[in-house]
Amino acid sequence: MISTATKVVETLLSAFGPQKWWPAETPFEVCVGAILAQNTNWKNVELAISNLKRLSAGESGVGSRGSGGKGLDAEFVVRLGTAGLEEVIRPAGTFRVKAKRLMRFCKWLVEEHGGSLERLFDRGPESLREALLEISGIGPETADAIALYAAGKATFVADAYTHRILARHGWLDWESGYDDVRSWWMDSLPRDAALYNEAHALLVKTAKEFCKAKPKCDGCPLQKMLPDGGARERERW
């Protein structure tokens, strides 16, 4: 029998088509984006990343990666230092906290893995996830975003958008934690990174266009899957 999770993904895919995520050029940029993306919109993250790329291209004396430079990498971020990094990523918001987190990740990558993402990613999804979660400031959502979008591992990014859709349909409680939301998807869908990538992108699109703070169920592709009585809201206190 087809699972609810599969039905959700198929419904959204036929409504919206493939989403072609993630908007970053290299796996390292994906890692930077995942760390900077907390509590801000992607436009601000892009601005911060493009500042970093401009500076790194200037340092190596080239205009772009295609010109023979190394481009943006962990060694460059470490050389920049925390104060320098704060200035460059300022557009991403809460820049002091985020600069510390990004610096910790980059130092760890350089010291433990010779600055090589290939070396870091040369392990299974759970082991990579556990390694990333050891770094202070990297939470499960960031670890999953790096593992899925930068390393191509089959792990689900169970963000707040995803949770909201499940809770409103009564498939999971509003009080459920991150791991419950992640397991809800991973226990039902085949372990397939491309599928998880597409599913997450489709869910984010649904949440941004329909399942907002106040849901707009009319016209939403998932309306036909609502429980009797409509979307379930979190109980107010």
Q: Does 12 bind ligand SF4 (CB under 6 A)?
A: no
Q: Which of 183, 208, 231, 236 touches ligand SF4 (CB under 6 A)?
A: 231
Q: Does 19 bind ligand SF4 (CB under 6 A)?
A: no
Distances, alpha carbon 162 to alpha carbons 156, 202, 212, in Å = 10, 10, 11
**Helix (H) and strand (E) counts for the chain?**
11, 0
Residue 215's DSSP bridge partners are 211
Q: Does 226 bind ligand SF4 (CB under 6 A)?
A: yes
Q: Does 202 bind ligand SF4 (CB under 6 A)?
A: no
Q: Does 220 bind ligand SF4 (CB under 6 A)?
A: yes
Could you say which residues in the range 145-174 bind ligand SF4, by CB under 6 A?
165, 168-169
Stretch near ligand SF4 under the rule CB under 6 A, chosen from 51-59, 65-73, 146-154, 214-222? 214-222
How far is residue 38's CA from residue 22's CA, in Å, rounded to a whole number?
A: 16
Candidates 221, 160, 158; CA nearest to 186 is: 158
- The enclosing H or E element of 26 equals none
CB of 187 to ligand SF4, least distance (A): 20
Query: 36 vs 220, which CB is nearer to ligand SF4?
Result: 220
Residue pair 71/65 in contact (Cβ under 8 Å)? The answer is yes
Q: Does 206 bind ligand SF4 (CB under 6 A)?
A: yes
CB of 5 to ligand SF4, least distance (A): 14
> Three-state SS for 158?
coil
CB of 233 to ligand SF4, least distance (A): 9
Instruction: Name the residue with tokens 């790329």.
Output: 53
Query: What does the CA dihedral 137, 148, 51, 67 come to, rounded to 10 degrees?
Result: 140
Residue 230's DSSP bridge partners are none
Stretch near ligand SF4 under the rule CB under 6 A, chosen from 87-95, 102-110, 122-130, 211-219? 211-219
Count of chain residues binding ligand SF4 (CB under 6 A)? 14
Q: Does 195 bind ligand SF4 (CB under 6 A)?
A: no
Distances, alpha carbon 122 to alpha carbons 105, 147, 183, in Å = 17, 11, 24
Q: Which residues bind ligand SF4 (CB under 6 A)?
A: 165, 168-169, 206, 210-211, 215-217, 220, 222-223, 226, 231
